[in-house]
Structure 1
Amino acid sequence: MPPDRSVGIPWTSVAFQTILACSLIGVMGVPIVSPILPTLRTVFGISDAQAGLIITAYTLPGVFLTPFIGLFSDHFGRRPVVLPLLFLFGLSGAAIGFAPAFEVVLLLRLLQGVGASGLMVLAITLIGDFYDGAQRHAVIGVNGSAIGIGAATYPLIGGALASVSWNVPFAFFGISLLVGVVALFSLSEPSIDDPPSLREYADRIASAVLMPRALGLWVAAFCTFFLFYGGVLTSLSLLLSDVHGLSAAEIGVLFSMVSLANATMASQYGRVSKLLPARQLIAVGFVGFGVSLFGVWAATTPVTIGVLLVCFGLGFGVVMPTLDTTTAGLVPGHLRASMLGVLTSMLWLGQTVGPVAFTGIAQTAFDSTTAGYRFLLLFFGTSAALGGVAILAYFQFMAERDSILPFEAS
C-alpha cells in the first residue's frame, strides 16, 4: 500500500503505522527488562555485574551495526532489511522466557540487540522516503511523541507482567512478530537513489567522526546514555529493590517518570530551542542530570526519588533533540544519514558501557554493591552538574569576548 502524501498525519497508512511500530519496538528492549533485573538476579542466581550484562548484551550490537544499516538498506531495499530485524527481535526476545540458563539469556539478548539495532534508524529513513515538506515534520513529531509515550509505558508493562511470572514480560516482545507479518504483506518498497559504494560510505563515516565540531556531540551522546542506562536503569533499579524493597511493578512506575518528563519537554522543544544556543542547551541538560543523580543519592524515600527522576527526564528531553538537530545541521543533506548513524552508534556505546561500568565498579571496588551504587550516583551526579555549569560559564565568557565559538549549532 503506498503512503498517504496528503498534508496532515496519515493515520490509516500502513507505511506510517509500520514506521511508528518500528520506533516503538526499537525502544522496547531495555525499559521492559530494567524493572525486573532484581528478579532475574534471583531467578538465575547471578551477581549485580552479571545482571548488568543483560542490558549490555542487548545494546552491544548497535555500537557496530547501526552505522551500516543505512548502507544495507540502500543496497538491498528497506523491506529486505526491516523485516528480518523485526522477526529476529521478536523471536529471540520471546525465547528468553524459556531460557534454561543465564548464558542462554545473554546469547538471546545479543541476537535481540541485532534485531533492534536498525529499527529506529530505518523508521527515520522511511519517513524521509515516504514523506516530504510539512507532512514530514508532522510525522517526525508524532514519531517522537510515540517514542516518549512508549518509553514511559514499557516500565509499567514490564513490572506488571513480572508480577505474574518473571518470564511473562519477554512474551511481550512477540508483538514484533505481528508487526513483521503485517509489514510483509502490506508495506510497499520505496524508490531510492543509487546507493553509495562501500568505500564512499566508509569515507563519509570516517569524516563525520573526525569533524572537530562534531566531537563534542559524540561525547555528549555517549555520556547521556552512559548515565541513563548505567546510573538509572541498572544501578537505581537494583538499589530500589535492595534498599527500599520495591517490587518490579513499583520500580516500573518510578522509571516511567523519566520518560513522561522527557516526552513533555521534547514536545516543547521548538520553544525551548529559541532560548539558548545548542551548546548551552546541552550543558543545561547535563546540569539536570547531575541534580537528579545527586538528589537520588541523598533521597530517603521512593517518592522523592520519583520527583528527582522527573528532573532527569526534563534534561533528557532537552539534550536528545538538541543532539539530533545539531548533528543533522552540521553537514549537507547527502551526508546527513552518515552523521546520524554515527550519533546513534555513540548512544548505543553509552548504553553498552554504562551498565557494565556501574555494576562492575560497585561490585569490585566496594565492600557492598549498595555502597558502590550510592558513591557512583554521588560522583557522576556531581561531575555532570559541575561539568554543565563549567561549560555554560565558558561559553558565556567567550560570548562576552565576542570570540568565535568552537561548537556552533546550524
Structure 2
Amino acid sequence: MMIKLVLLLASSLTVMAGAIITPGLPDIGRYFDSYPDVWVKLIITLPALFIAIFSPLMGWLADRFGRLPVLLTCLLIYAFGGAAGALAENMTWMLLTRALLGIGVAGVMGIATTLIGDYFSGQERQSFMGLQGSFMALGGVVFINLGGLLALGSWRANFLVYLFSLVVFALAWRFLKEPQPEKDTADFNPQAPFPLASVLPVYGLGFIAMALFYLLPAQMPFLLAERFQSNSLQTAWVIATSTLSGALAGFLFGRIKNLISHRQIYALAFILFALGYFMAAQVDTYLLILAAVLLSGFGAGMTFPAGNHWLLTLAPVAYRGRVMGGFASVFFMGQFMSPLLAAPVEAWAGLTGVFLAAALLAMSLALLLLLLPSGNPQGQEVD
C-alpha cells in the first residue's frame, strides 16, 4: 500500500511542476514587464525542454545503475530548483531555476512510471496506470487552487510548495525497494535492439497530445484575462475543472481500456480536445468556458495513462527505463513547443484563432486514427 502511495505522490510532482505557478502567471508577467510576453510563458514551459533533454539520460541511468538512486537524487534537485524561483529578481535567475526543476522532473516522472512497470503486471498494472493518471489530475486540482490562493498574496509564495518533494523523498527512501529484473524471462534480452519502430508512433501521439493540452495552462490565463478580466483564483478554477475532469478519465481508464484499444482511446481523446477547444474559442460566458474545459480535460486525462500503458506493453524489460524516459522526453517536448507553435497563429488570428486551429488539428488526427487500418505505417501491430 505504501509503495503505491509513494509512486502516486511522486507522479503528482510532475503535475505540480507547472500547475502551482500557472494562476500567478499574469502577476509574474507584470513583475517582469520589461521582458517580451513569450519569455514569461517560458517560465511555464522551459522545464519541459529540460525534461525532454534529460529524460533519455535518466532512463539510461535507471537501466544501468538502478531506479532508486536516480529517483532520490532527482527528488532533491526538484525541491531545490523549484523553491529557488521564489528568490528570483531577474529573468535569468528565474529561467535557470526552472531549467533545474526540469532536470528533477525528468527523473521523477520517467522512473516513477518505470517502477510501476517493475512492480506490477497485467490487470493490476492497467488499473494502477489509470489510478496514477487520476491521482495526478486530482493533485492538479489541489495545486492549482492552492496556487490561485497563494498568488492572491504574492506570486513568490507559490514556489515554496515545491519543497513538498522533500516529503516524497523521505517516503521513497523508507518504503521503496530496488526491483530485481527477471533475467530468466524471455522478455529480458539485453542484446536486443531498442524497439524504436514499435514505440515511435506512440511517441508521436504523446507529443501532439501534450502540445494540445498545454494550450490550457499556457494560453487560457491570457484568454480569460482578455475576455472576462478574470483574476488568478478564477483562472485556477478553470484549470482545476479541466484537471478534475482528467482525474475522472484516469479513474475510468482501466474500464475504458477493456472496451477499446489504445489507438481508439487516443482518437476519442482528440475528439474531446476538438469539441472543448472549439467551444473555448466561441463562447462568451465563464460557465461555458468551464464546460469546454470539462470536455478537453477528459480527453487529456485519457492520453497519459494510455500512452504509458501502451509503451509498457511494448517495452522489453531491459529497455523499460529508456523507453519510458524517451516517452517523457517527447511528451514534455510537446509541452515546451506548445506556446512556440501557437505564437505565429496567435500573431495572425489572436488567442481565439489558436484554440480554433487546435480544434481542427485534433479532429483531423482523430479521423486519421479511426480510418487507418490496425498497425503502424511500417505494417507492425502496435496496439
Compute the TM-score of the two structures, normalised by the length of structure 2. Answer: 0.88
Q: 1:16 to 1:323 in 2, by over 3 A?
A: closer
RMSD value, Cα: 3.0
Residue in 2 aligned with 1:67?
A: 56
For structure 1, which segment, 161-170 or 139-148, has the greater mean C-alpha deviation from structure 2 after superposition? 139-148
Q: 2:29 aligns with which of 20, 37, 41?
A: 41
d(CA) in 2 for partners of 1:376 and 1:407? 35
Mapped contact 2:62–2:70 kept (Cα < 8 A): yes
User: For the structure 1 residues 48 and 358, does the alpha-carbon distance in structure 2 shift closer, same or farther, using more than 3 Å as the test?
Assistant: farther
Equivalent runs, 1:261-272 vs 2, <5 Å:
261-272=245-256
Q: For residue 309 of structure 1, what is the aligned residue in structure 2?
A: 293
Structure 1 residues 267 and 67, CA, compared in 2 at 3 Å: closer, same or farther? same
Report if the CA contact (8 A) 1:148-1:259 is conserved.
Answer: yes
Which consecutive residues of structure 1, in runs of 5 or more, have no partner in the other structure?
1-9
The answer to whether structure 1 residue 258 and structure 2 residue 235 are counterparts is no
What is the CA-CA distance between 1:331 and the residue it aligns to? Answer: 4.5
* Secondary structure of 1:117 counterpart: helix
Equivalent residues of 2:59, 2:323 under 8 A apart:
no
Q: Residue 186 of structure 2 corresponds to which residue in structure 1? A: none
Provide the residue aligned with 2:352 in structure 1.
Answer: 374
Partner of 1:149: 138
Q: Identify if the C-alpha distance between structure 1 residues 275 and 142 changes in structure 2 by more than 3 Å, giving closer, same or farther.
A: closer
> Which residue of the partner structure matches residue 125 of structure 1?
114
Spell out, residue by residue over 1:216-271, the C-alpha distance to the aligned partner (whole angstroms, 9 max, x if none): 32221111111111x21111111112321111111111111111111112222233
Kindly name which structure, 1 or 2, has the bigger radius of gyration based on alpha carbons: 1
| Inter-partner Cα distance in structure 2 for 1:331 and 1:116 | 22
Q: Which amino acid aligns with 1:347?
A: F
Shift in CA distance, 233/201, structure 1 to aligned 2, threshold 3 Å = farther
Q: Which amino acid aligns with 2:272?
A: G
Pairs within 5 Å for 1:4-403:
10=1, 13=2, 15-45=3-33, 46-130=35-119, 140-184=129-173, 186-187=174-175, 189-193=177-181, 204=193, 207-209=194-196, 211=197, 213-229=198-214, 231-359=215-343, 361-362=345-346, 365-366=347-348, 371-392=349-370, 394-395=371-372, 398=373
Matched letter for residue 339 of structure 2: P
Shift of residue 405 of structure 1? 10
Task: State the AA in 2 paired with 1:114.
Answer: I
Distance 1:283 1:65 in 2: 29
Letter in 2 for 1:224: A
Q: Which runs of 5+ in 2 are unaligned?
A: 184-188
Residue 378 of structure 1 aligns to which amino acid in structure 2? L
Which protein is richer in helix relative to its size? 2
* Structure 2 contact 129–305 (Cα < 8 Å) conserved: no
1:3 maps to none
Match of 1:328, as an amino acid? L
> Offset at 1:38?
1.1
Conservation of the 8 A alpha-carbon contact between 2:249 and 2:302: yes
Deviation sequence 1:312-344 (CA, Å, 0-9, x none): 012123333332232222344444443322222
TM-score (norm 1): 0.82
